[in-house]
Every structure is written in C-alpha cells, then in structure tokens.
Amino acid sequence: MTLAHKLAEERRARLAAQRLLEMKEAELFSANRKLGRHARALSDRIERTEAEVVNVRNENRQVKSDLSVAHQKIEIAERRLWHSIRTIQDGFAFFNADNEMVGANDAYLSIFDDLEDMKPGVTYPEMLLVLTDEGIIDTQDLSPAEWRATMLERWNEPNPKPRVVRFWNGLYAKLIDERGPDGDVVSLALNITDTIRYENQLKKARYQAEAASRAKSAFLANMSHEIRTPMNGIVGMADLLVETGLGEEQQLFVETIRNSGEALLTIINDVLDYSKIEAEKLQLRPTTFDFEQCIHEVMRLLQPSARDKGVALLVDYDLFLPTQLVGDPGRIRQILTNVIGNAVKFTTEGHVLISITGKSQNGVCDVHVTIQDTGIGIPEDKVGHIFGEFNQVEDEKNRQFEGTGLGLAITKRLIELMGGRIWVTSEEGAGTCFGFQVSLESDPADELEIVKPDIAKALVVDSGELTRGILEKQIALLGITCSSANSADDALAMLDEGFGLAVLDDLQGAMDGFDLARQMRAKRPDLPILLMTSNAGLAEADPARASVNAVLQKPVPRQILFRHLMSLGAPETKAPPHPKAPMFVHTRSAAPAPPPRPMIPNENSRRALRVLAAEDNKTNQLVFGKMLKSLDIELTFANNGIEAVELFQSIKPDVVFMDISMPKKDGKEATGNIRALEKESGAHVPIIAMTAHAMAGDQEAILAAGLDHYLTKPLKKSLVIEQIKAVQLEGVRPAVPDQLG
C-alpha cells in the first residue's frame, strides 16, 4: 500500500470520523434541546404544583380556623342554653330513646333532695321508684305501684298528655313531655303552685260568693213574701175603700195609699228581677200563648193613666201575623209593660202607637214590635245610656217622673235572653220610638180562619187618623167596604149611603159618642152601632148605653172586634152573639176565648156559681170577699188546708182559690187531697193558687202540686174575676151579670 494510498485512506477515515463527530454533535445538540424543553416543562409543572400546594395549605388553614370558630360558637351556644335552662325556675330534662336521663337542670334534680343516684344516666322508671319510695311524691288516692304504673303508661304514649303532680311539701308541678322522632324525650316540670293556690282561692271565693248570692236570693224571696202579704192588705183595702163613697179629699188620700203601694211593689219586683238576672238565675218558661191578647192586657192596664192624660193608645197588629206563639208570656208582658209604660209615662199629649209586624216561616215567627210615642223624647247625648242600670235622663235635682231606672236594663237583658234585640230612636221634644225583635216559634196551623160577616158597607167615625187607618184595615180584611168620617157632622151627613154598620169613637169633639149614636139611630133605627171608648166601664154604666149595640174597650183586640162584627152581621139574629158560629177560630189555641153565652130566658132557674177560698189571714179574707162583692156567686171561706178539703166535699165548689202557706195543711197538700178525691168521680174543679211567693221555681212547684193557675199577691181584682168568669157551667148563672161569654 502506498503512502498516498495510506494517506488517502487516513484522510477518508478522518473525514468519516469528522462526519460521525458532526453527526453525533448534531444528535447531541438535538438531545440537549429536547432535554432543555423537558426541563422547562418540568420546572413549569413544579411551579404550578407548588402554587397549588400553597393554595391547599392556605385553604386547610382557613378550614381549621373556621372549624375552631364554629366549635367556639357551639360551645358558647351550649353554655348559654344550659345557663338559661339552669336559671329557669322550672324543671327541665332530656331523656334518650332508652329512657335514660341525658341531662337535667338543677330545678329538676332538686326535687330529688340531692339523692346521689338522681343524675344523668338514671332511667325514668328508676326515677319514678325513687319518687314513691322516698315519699317525694304525693300519690293521693293511688297506691305507689298504681301511681308508677299510670305515670309509665303515660310516658310511653307517643304524645303524653300534660299531668299535674303534687309533692310532699305542697308544691305542684305540671309535667309536659314531648317525644321526638328518634325517641328522645324533652321533659318539662312547670312549677304551678302559685296558679293552683290562686285557683283554690278563687274557688273558695266563688263558693263564698255563691253562698252569699244564695243567701241574698233566699233573703229576697223571704222579703218579697213578707212585704207582699201586708201589701195585699194595704193595696186591696185601699182599692175597696175608693168605692165606699168617700169625700174628695179622702178619695185622694186613699188613692195615694194605693198608688204608693203599687209603686212600692213595682220597685220590689224590679229589684227582685234584676238580682235574679244578675245571678243568672232567671230562666224563661216558654209556653204557647196569645201574643195579641198579651199586648191588649198590657194596654188595658195602662189605659187608665193614658186616658187621664188624653193620650190615645193604639195597637196595629199585623193582620197576617199568627197570634199563638211560643214564649214566656210573663216575661214578654213585662217587656211590653216596661216599654209601653215608659211611652205612656213620658207622653203628655198625642198617642202611643204599638205596631206589631213580622214574618212567619218554617214555624218560626220573626216578630217586630215598635212603640212610638209623641212624648218628651230623649236628648241625643242620653239615648245611648238609657239601657244602663239606674240611668235616667233627668238628674236628681229636677226629677219629675218616678221610676227606678232599672226597667230598660231589665227589658234589654230579657230580650237578649230571648235571643232578640232592642233599639231606640228619639227626637227631643217630638217623641221616641222603641223597637224590639224576637223570634218566637209559631204554629203554622194557627192561621186565622175568617168567616165573612153579612155586612157590605161600614162607616168608621173617628177623629184620630191613625185609629181610623187601623180600623179600616181590620174591617176591610173581612171584605167590608169602609168609609170614614172624622167628625160627627160628616158622619151624619153620610148616613144615607146605605151602611150596614157604624163604628164610633167616643171622642167626637163637641159631640160625644152616645150623642152621635142617638142622632144616627133617629135617622137609621136599624143601623148596628159599635162604640169604642177608652173607658168602657163608665160607658157601660151610662144611661145612654142602649143607643149602641156594644161598647168596646179601646184599643180593641181584633178578636173582640171580629166577634162583635160577626154577631151584628149574622142575618138570623141582630142582637145577641151566636155561640156556635165564631167569627174566626184558632185551630190550635191555648186558651180560646169562651164562646158567647146563649140567652136563656129564665136566669133564676139556674144556681149561683160556688166559690171556695182557702185563706188563713182574716184581712186577706176580707179583701177577697170585698173584691167579689159585686159578683153573683156563693163564696165560702176555709181557714186552713184541712177545712178546705172538708168544705170541698161538703159544698162541692165549682172553683177553688187556694192560699199556699196555711197552718195545719198547706195549699199544695190540700190540693193533692182534693185531686185524690176527684179521681173517683173523674171531675176536675179548677184550683187557683194565691200566693205571696214570687220567686223563680215557685210557679212550677205550685203547678206540679195539681193547681191549675197561679195568682200572686197582692191580688188584682180583675185577675180574680177573670178566673171566675172562665168557669162557665151548664145550669149555673154567670158570675158577672153582663158577661159577654
């Protein structure tokens, strides 16, 4: 091999090596660059990771601090809760679902008198055992085992009811336990000792008050009895004395005695009623009664004082309103007497108009009564107060009107007791209108059945527009055409218009009713004439009475008016009313008016009515005898219950008046004996109680003893006579000679 060759080879080798080196250098460079990139990426990731770690560390630190804050808060809340629970006076404890005490406040644990075991961990049944074994609880009527059993039974209920327990030292706790959904129980033991003591005090006070109220009622009952008995003598005797032909001055004195006596009785009754209402002792006694008749009875009572003042009393009873209603007639009469009595009392001229309207539906009658007067009225600022107790418009200094100031307070309470309401509107100097509403049961079958009379045209003569209006309405209901005249002259001028009837008012200005009747008769001798007057008693005694067919007391109840119209219109008889064809009938009536009595030619062929009166008090016998002096009766007195029964058998009375308090045998027992005697014969003689007892319950007791009716002393002559008039027997003369029937 040549040198050149060798050199060439060496050169080639060197070149190859150089190329290899270059190649390796390029590879190295590339590897280096890759490594650099990788290193950079790595360091970036490290940086990021480091930042994340810092973040996480920060968060961790935050969470830790939050947690400790939360812990602190929980601790504070728990501390406060326990502090509160500890500070409350009442016992508080928690139990878990296994009935173990988890915690309790000092008040709860103090009940156990520092007993070692009574602390959290104790179970409820163990606790009950300690309570009874240590005598901590007063198990009252139960044995310790029974008490524990009832307590445990209660504890296991899903919603235990509160229970009051009493401890040995007289303290009371009300246990209230609430079971949670997981079976835990929160138990409260409220200290109610003060409440129980207060309740006991209240009970005692109430008992004492009730005892005092009973004593007051008994006192009032006695007082009422004691006062009424002598009052019977005073009022009754004064009543009789008036009729004995006294001089004018004597008459005045006697009337003052009688009026004062009656005023005193009204006051006694008001006070009695008010105290009964106050004590919630007043009970209503509903019964079927005739509402219209009730109103007219009140009107009759008030008529004399209205008449004396020239005040007209008018009644407008809704023609289509039933009259048989169910209510307490005594109390309804009292309401009417109070309100209408006030209207008369506070009215010096004009009228008092009572309007009764209403709707009857499904057996219930919604009755509205308004009492409108033309009196002194009530000042606006006083209207709101008059229903209060002792509230009167007048003040003490200028009292002109008498009264207790209790009437409207009682009236309002009575109406409210009946579920109704009362109201008033008034204009001072112009008049007052009281209204009240009550819903009373009615009998739908009790509709008026009207039989039309045989009269085509009637003439109404009345100077009062209101009365004329009411009368025209009533007469028109019977299908009679009505014309009216407001003066006697007009009436006389109209006479040839072919009237079949004339109804006259006795106040015709210059000419009185009888004068007008006489003049009418002179022109039309066949014309039936009815005279309406506010003093029927006086008119009946007037020699001119013969100039009219009948005298009617104003205001005239529809029943009476219709009956007279019927009797006048009956074609077959023009004079006496016919008994078998009443003008209208109540198909169901508690006390229908007795039918007119048929005329029997020989009155003397009938015997007098026999009346037996049992009354031990001589003065009362005297009063009773004098009251009935004018009647055609045979009156016999019994001095006690035994005599009453004996006389009942011997004289066979048609009616008996029976005093209740009598020596030897009282009225109830005597009535019992009489009713027993009657069982054999099947007869039933009416027995009417006369008593000074006027308290609630007396009436029931008396009626339960077999008596039929009840009159309170002092007796009212008219009521006694009414009872006697009600007894109508065949073969017996009417007690009142002019008795209509």
Nearer to ligand ADP, 410 or 609 (CB): 410
Contact 695, 213 (CB under 8 A): no
CB of 347 to ligand ADP, least distance (A): 7
CB of 541 to ligand ADP, least distance (A): 33
The three-state secondary structure class of 129 is helix
> Which residue in this structure is represented by tokens 């015709």?
508
CB of 548 to ligand ADP, least distance (A): 34
Alpha-carbon distance values, 122 to 130, 205, 638, 724 (Å): 11, 44, 86, 87
What's 543's DSSP letter? G
CB of 338 to ligand ADP, least distance (A): 6
> Which residue in this structure is represented by tokens 């039989």?
451
CB of 232 to ligand ADP, least distance (A): 24
Nearer to ligand ADP, 236 or 431 (CB): 431
Nearer to ligand ADP, 430 or 456 (CB): 430
Nearer to ligand ADP, 346 or 499 (CB): 346
CB of 392 to ligand ADP, least distance (A): 3
What's 189's DSSP letter? E
Tokens of 680: 């054999």
Nearer to ligand ADP, 306 or 460 (CB): 306
CB of 730 to ligand ADP, least distance (A): 47
Contact positions vs ligand ADP (CB under 6 A):
338, 342-343, 346, 373, 375-378, 386, 391-394, 403-409, 432
CB of 447 to ligand ADP, least distance (A): 34
CB of 507 to ligand ADP, least distance (A): 23
Nearer to ligand ADP, 109 or 393 (CB): 393
Q: How far apart are CA 370 and CA 339, in angstroms?
A: 10
Alpha-carbon distance values, 718 to 215, 356, 403 (Å): 35, 26, 24
Nearer to ligand ADP, 338 or 640 (CB): 338
Q: How far apart are CA 217 and CA 276, in angstroms?
A: 8
CB of 411 to ligand ADP, least distance (A): 7
Nearest to 344 by CA among 534, 510, 504: 534
State the residue number with the nearest CB to ligand ADP. Answer: 403
CB of 423 to ligand ADP, least distance (A): 13
Nearer to ligand ADP, 168 or 390 (CB): 390
C-alpha torsion sign, points 117, 119, 125, 127: positive
Nearer to ligand ADP, 133 or 394 (CB): 394
Nearest to 726 by CA among 636, 624, 643, 657: 657
Nearer to ligand ADP, 128 or 371 (CB): 371
Nearest to 338 by CA among 289, 293, 371: 371
Nearest to 528 by CA among 548, 514, 552: 548
What is the end-to-end Cα distance of the chain in Å, rounded? 189
The three-state secondary structure class of 114 is coil
298-306 contacts, C-beta under 8 A, 24 or more apart: 298/333, 298/336, 298/337, 298/340, 299/340, 299/354, 299/555, 300/553, 300/718, 301/337, 302/337, 302/340, 302/341, 302/344, 303/534, 303/535, 303/553, 303/554, 305/344, 305/345, 306/344, 306/352, 306/534
Nearer to ligand ADP, 432 or 636 (CB): 432
Nearest to 559 by CA among 741, 293, 299, 297: 293
Q: How far apart are CA 333 and CA 260, in angstroms?
A: 22
